[in-house]
Amino acid sequence: MWEFFTEPEFQEKLDWMAAFVRQECEPLDLLFPRPGDPYDVHNKASRAILSPLREQVKARGLWACHLGPELGGQGYGQLKLALMNEILGRSAWAPTVFGTAAPDTGNAEILALYGTQEQQARYLHPLLEGNIVSTFSMTEPQAGADPKEFVCRATRDGEEWVIEGEKWFSSHARYASFLIVMAVTDPEAKPHERMSMFIVPAEAAGVEIIRNVATMNERDDLGEGTEGYIRYNQVRVPLDAMLGAPGEGFKVAQSRLGGGRVHHAMRVVGKSQRALDMMCERALSRRTQGKTLAEHQFVQGFIADSVLQLQQFRLLVLQTAWIIDNQPHGAARKHIAMCKVALASVLHDILQRAVHLHGSLGTTQETPLGPWWAAAPQLALADGPTEVHKAAVAKLTLRDYQPAPGLFPTEHIPTRRAQARARYAAVLEEYGL
């Protein structure tokens, strides 16, 4: 049964989160605005403010709620997480305050599933406590996100693996205590069985950050780049550094990417809603041509289009979360891809309208709209480009269909009319039709 209803007890938690994010997390966005600031564990000033906020979250039982109770979370399903992440998406710092920042969430799941007890003690538990951050090092400069084109190799040498190659866009590597690296271990195997996954300490000899690449909303001249371009130069790790079995790198990666994609979508709902809020406030606050912006039909069209687009997207995200919670593993694959396709266009379109309604102010750094706008294209590429997910949606949809059995389509009117006449021939003949 479908129900559009939130239990009063959980709604109280959501109400507290909404007020807390507004009053406590959004100020951190203003004081420490660089995209890498939430991941910089060595910034004493930000951590001095962050620590007591995290304690309040933990006291409310809202810390790392994506995790099961065995890992210190609440074991909330994806539907509740969707409602929570809508709120967290309004602030860049909120996921860090609530222990749900990417890529640490997915990396924690990998370590929980595949890590040894020693690795969990050294990396997982500090990661869950928020004391360290991590990196997922998968994409490569010549291949992007296509693992079939990866060339970074891991070769066994006695009791060690030796990793050699380059990785591109390894987010927050400059702050990470460890990296989870995908490397080719059997180049002759089937495409999705060529790779394995490894945990690599950031201080390991041979881990070389070529440069920290700045995205469109970061200043390269100020050294704000957060996307690591890394060379693994004969990096040696022990045999048990492999996460999962040999050749299971793709499987291990997929165990985190699906959840990561839908959580991105959940947070985009919140950011888009905040942009819509700003748009509506602006429409009621400014005048032109003798009336408020809100009285102009073009502006009304902007607002109506944004409300409809956001509501449709939100329902898709909530339905996807419901499927994950209630149907067998993998049932939500198409819906997750649909969310990934839609999130970038929804955020882009609503931000574009919000920027236009704010005029010149919208293009500056004096509202959140400018930085959000600059970051929007990155969301279309994170965890796989939009085009790849569109193809996945099409392929998964086509599985439910068959070719037409004859020369013409099954909806061919002359053919269907002939079938209908044959079915009711006696009646038609009786009435002279």
Domains of the chain: 8-101 (1.10.540.10), 134-247 (2.40.110.10), 251-398 (1.20.140.10), 402-433 (no CATH)
- Distance, in Å, from the CA atom of 239 to the CA atom of 253, rounded to the nearest integer, reads 19
Q: Is the pLDDT of residue 379 over 90?
A: no
According to the model, what pLDDT value does residue 318 have?
95
Q: Please answer whether residues 110 and 243 qualify as being in contact, where contact means their C-beta atoms are separated by less than 8 angstroms.
A: yes
According to the model, what pLDDT value does residue 3 have?
78
Q: Is the pLDDT of residue 417 over 80?
A: yes
Helices 78-88 & 8-20 angle (0-180, nearest 10): 20
Q: Which residue has the higher pLDDT, 34 or 69?
A: 34
What average pLDDT does range 228-251 have in this prediction? 96
Total residue length of the chain: 433
- Distance, in Å, from the CA atom of 195 to the CA atom of 248, rounded to the nearest integer, reads 6
What average pLDDT does range 74-96 have in this prediction? 93
Instruction: Name the nearest CA neighbour of 103 among 78, 138, 145.
Output: 138
Q: Is the pLDDT of residue 90 over 70?
A: yes
Banded pLDDT at 250 (limits 50, 70, 90): confident
What lies within 8 Å, CB to CB, of 163 at 6+ separation is: 152, 153, 154, 181, 183, 198, 200, 206, 232, 234, 235, 236, 237
User: What is the H or E stretch that residue 104 is in?
Assistant: helix 104-114
Instruction: Say which range, 100-109, 293-302, 389-398, has the weakest mean pLDDT.
Output: 100-109
Question: What is the radius of gyration, based on Cα positions, of the chain?
Answer: 25
| Tokens standing for residue 307 | 């409300």
Look up residue 184 and give its DSSP letter: E
- Distance, in Å, from the CA atom of 342 to the CA atom of 191, rounded to the nearest integer, reads 28
Q: How does strand 207-213 pair with strand 195-201?
A: unpaired
* 248-251, Cβ contacts within 8 angstroms, sequence gap of 24 or more: 248/193, 248/196, 248/197, 249/147, 249/182, 249/183, 249/185, 249/194, 249/195, 249/196, 249/197, 250/147, 250/192, 250/193, 250/195
Banded pLDDT at 374 (limits 50, 70, 90): confident
Number of H helices, E strands in the chain: 15, 10
